[in-house]
Amino acid sequence: MTNVEQSYSRSGLMMRWAILAFALFLMGTNSFVIAGVLPQIAHDLQVRTTDIGFTITAYALVVAVLAPAAAVTLAHLSRTTLMVAGLAAFLVGVVIAGIAPDYAIFAIGRVVAAVGGAALVPTATAAAAAITSPERRGQAIAVVGIGFTLASAVGAPLGTALSAVIGWRAAMLIVAALAALTMPLLAFGVRRVPLGAPISLARRFAVLRDGRILLPLLTTLFIAAGFNLLYIFSSAVTGYTGTALAALLLVYGVFGIVGNTISGPLTDRFGSRRIGIAFMVVETLALAAVALVGHSFVGLVIAFVVWGLSAFGSVIPVQHRLLAVDSRTASVAISWFSTALYLGIAIAPLAGAASLSAGDTALIPVFGAVATLVGLVAFVAGYALRGRRQSAAEETAAVELAEEAEPPGQGAAQRETPQEAATLGS
């Protein structure tokens, strides 16, 4: 048991996990709810729907770039301070976007919120692991991660439905108000978080030379792009808005939780390759089915059920594969997962805009299916490199030895757990 955890009762530790999970829930809701209200925002700001979609690209790129950069440059800063500062920036960004009189101000607000997300999201997950004893860190990360899962399953549909009643601006300001209430909970409820060991840039980039790691990361990028193509432009594709669209997104999210729940045990039993291939094949078919059923609500409900199950279920085998390639580099390999994920999110609005410019919304889920299929090919190809003799794992091990040989204060660092490195580097 860590020194920090010794000062927490079991209920106190659960309370701290809950605070961190709720902070991530707010971040995720703000990210995902935009998808359900794209037409309303575009109408109010007098721009095209695709223009609002581009702010999602900007948001994702900021998080993808700044999150790993913050892990390197701010490794010495108090985790509590960093989380509160991140939530404060997020709050300011959401308020700016919520009251924006025009598109330019709205975009600035989204970027400011993204800066806050880059500081808070990886730090909150790392904090959950740091305040928990090693044998329970997996549980801590899973509990805190539920915040993001519930954001897409419940937060976004609820936000979409709420926006239909009180408007998207009021809905965003409610998110900002909840963030304001969460700040003191973070500041006073999650304190004395141990600092994780910093990870050098050399160690971070060395693993990308190993195709067994690079290819699953490409898989992550493409399946994220495929998923977000439909999710972001779900209103345009389905033809529904307001409560009807919220219902579809809720169906997707609820069955996504089911997919996430069953994927882990299935992966443990049958292996990441079989389960990953199965879920990605099903997801490809589900995305294609959305294009075929058109605006049939019943058909869309069925397609969204299958899509939710497979989209959430396909992520865990990819993460499992990244951790299983080499135990010496597992922590650094998984730290690239979030970067690949956000890069995929950034690509989606661009591909969606191209589809809409062609005048056929059915192309959006078709492109999503193609992207998922490309991700599947990359995933399978990664296993063909199993017999490679010289890998980046060996190069990274040499880098680690060199760092450990440096004098104190010149780069030597205590080894971190895979969970800590994954979250600090994401």
Question: Nearest CA to 98 among 39, 30, 23, 51?
Answer: 30
- What's the chain's average pLDDT? 83
Backbone angles phi, psi at 362, to 5 degrees: -65, -20
- Structure tokens belonging to residue 349: 């609005």
Question: Nearest CA to 285 among 351, 348, 373?
Answer: 373
Task: Tell me the C-alpha distance between 156 and 154, whole Å.
Answer: 6
Q: What percent of the chain has pLDDT above 70? A: 85
Residue pair 318/220 in contact (Cβ under 8 Å)? The answer is yes
Q: pLDDT value at position 294? A: 87
Q: What percent of the chain has pLDDT above 90? A: 41
Q: pLDDT value at position 331? A: 67
Q: pLDDT value at position 412? A: 36
Residue 191 or residue 236, greater confidence: 236
Return the DSSP state at 241.
-
Beta strands in 1-58 (DSSP E): none
Q: What's the pLDDT tens digit per position in 147-168?
A: 877 887 788 888 888 888 899 9
Task: Tell me the C-alpha distance between 156 and 37, whole Å.
Answer: 10
The H-or-E segment that residue 353 falls in is helix 337-357
Q: Over range 329-355, report the average pLDDT.
A: 84
- Structure tokens belonging to residue 282: 């099903």
Question: Nearest CA to 293 among 274, 281, 279, 306?
Answer: 306
Q: Over range 286-303, report the average pLDDT.
A: 95
Q: pLDDT value at position 244? A: 92
Q: Over range 249-269, report the average pLDDT.
A: 88
Domain 1-196 = CATH 3.40.50.620: no
Highest average pLDDT, of 280-284, 335-339, 401-405, comes from: 280-284
Question: Nearest CA to 200 among 397, 337, 338, 400?
Answer: 400
- Mutual angle of helices 10-36 and 137-150, in 10-degree steps: 30
pLDDT at 417 over 70: no
Residue 137 or residue 190, greater confidence: 190
Task: Tell me the C-alpha distance between 193 and 186, whole Å.
Answer: 11
**Structurally, what CATH architecture does the domain formed by 199-410 represent?**
Up-down Bundle (1.20)
Task: Tell me the C-alpha distance between 114 and 178, whole Å.
Answer: 17
- Structure tokens belonging to residue 21: 């999970």
Q: Which of the residue ranges 122-126, 345-349, 375-379 would you say has the lowest mean pLDDT?
A: 122-126
Q: pLDDT value at position 304? A: 96
Task: Tell me the C-alpha distance between 233 and 349, whole Å.
Answer: 8
Q: What's the pLDDT tens digit per position in 62-112?
A: 988 888 777 777 777 888 888 999 999 999 999 999 999 999 999 999 999
Rg (CA), the chain: 21
Task: Tell me the C-alpha distance between 237 and 360, whole Å.
Answer: 9
Task: Tell me the C-alpha distance between 16 and 396, whole Å.
Answer: 35
Residue pair 31/151 in contact (Cβ under 8 Å)? The answer is yes
pLDDT at 144 over 90: no
Residue 107 or residue 419, greater confidence: 107
Q: Over range 216-242, report the average pLDDT.
A: 93
Task: Tell me the C-alpha distance between 302 and 342, whole Å.
Answer: 28
Q: pLDDT value at position 394? A: 52
Q: pLDDT-derived band of residue 8, with 50, 70 and 90 as boundaries?
A: low
Residue 223 or residue 319, greater confidence: 223
Residue pair 306/284 in contact (Cβ under 8 Å)? The answer is no
pLDDT at 327 over 90: no
Q: Which amino acid is at 393?
A: A
Task: Tell me the C-alpha distance between 420 and 426, whole Å.
Answer: 10
Task: Tell me the C-alpha distance between 224 and 340, whole Å.
Answer: 8
Return the DSSP state at 197.
P
Establish whether domains 1-196 and 199-410 are of one fold: yes
Beta-carbon-side half-sphere exposure of residue 14 (alpha carbons within 13 Å) = 3
* Dihedral sign computed on CA atoms, order 366, 371, 372, 374: positive
Domain ranges of the chain: 1-196, 199-410
Q: pLDDT value at position 142? A: 67
Residue 283 or residue 15, greater confidence: 283
Beta-carbon-side half-sphere exposure of residue 67 (alpha carbons within 13 Å) = 32
